[in-house]
Structure 1
């Protein structure tokens, strides 16, 4: 029997707003927030973005100019198993069915272990180990 590996897509609180459709990608160097998410869900803080000359390359290898960078507080888990970290996101314009991508840097900050076989993410908190199911 072969286990079907599912992408791990979670929800978290970003800048005091509940954000769904966060794709966790252990192979990505970038932590990305898409402009459509800032413009709609996080419009109260989108003016904190800083300009950048950064280019991001995806699977196709075609570089995309980033719109900017923004540092945001992220809370993962549910009470009492919560953990808060500050993440520097690269802002990308474009179409995506996801709002945010947590790459290696964000996942490492949380000390998160992602299991595609179990479609979950685990990380330690001051009150124990939290599990978020995809």
Structure 2
């Protein structure tokens, strides 16, 4: 699952393309919402609904290092290359710390410290020319 950790986001989002793949009994938990979410450029977007879901983080290399949290996810109709965006609320509930410099998220569990590492999806290159 492609998850984006956004330390600038105050909400947690699941995109509809991911939601539609969930089992029917989970999709039935969907609740209506009247909240609008402000975007990066100030525009407002309206979630389809919201979903309270138990999410589990599991360490990349050790399945014993895991932690669960009950998240309130806003289901968005917009297209995205990600399935879920975890914001500050999720990070706080998981007791997780993210490092964009290292491309990692660390979280505490009953069995120690778990680590999630990022995968580069699309490398970006820039050329700067001095004049």
Give the TM-score, by structure 1 length: 0.82
Corresponding residue for residue 3 of structure 2: 22
Corresponding residue of 1:127: 111
- Cα deviation for residue 95 of structure 1 reads 0.7
Question: CA shift at 1:66, angstroms?
Answer: 1.1
- Equivalent position to 1:92, from 71, 76, 96: 76
Which of the residues 35, 38, 44 maps onto 1:54?
35
User: Could you say if the C-alpha distance between residues 83 and 104 of structure 1 is closer, same or farther in structure 2, counting changes exceeding 3 Å?
Assistant: same
Q: CA deviation at 1:57?
A: 1.3
Cα distance in 1, alignment partners of residues 28 and 91 from structure 2: 26
Question: Which has more strand, going by share of residues?
Answer: 1
Q: Which residue of structure 1 lines up, in the alignment, with residue 49 of structure 2?
A: 68
Q: TM-score under structure 2 normalisation?
A: 0.84
Query: How far off is 1:47 after superposition?
Result: 2.0
CA distance in 2, matches of 1:37, 1:61: 25
The match for 1:32 is: 13
Post-superposition, which runs of at least 4 consecutive aligned residues in structure 1 deviate over 4 A? none
Q: How does 1:104-123 map to 2 (within 5 A)?
A: 104-123=88-107
Gaps of 5+ in 2: 119-131
Question: Aligned-pair distance for 1:109?
Answer: 0.4
Structure 1 unaligned segments of length 5 or more: list them.
Answer: 1-19
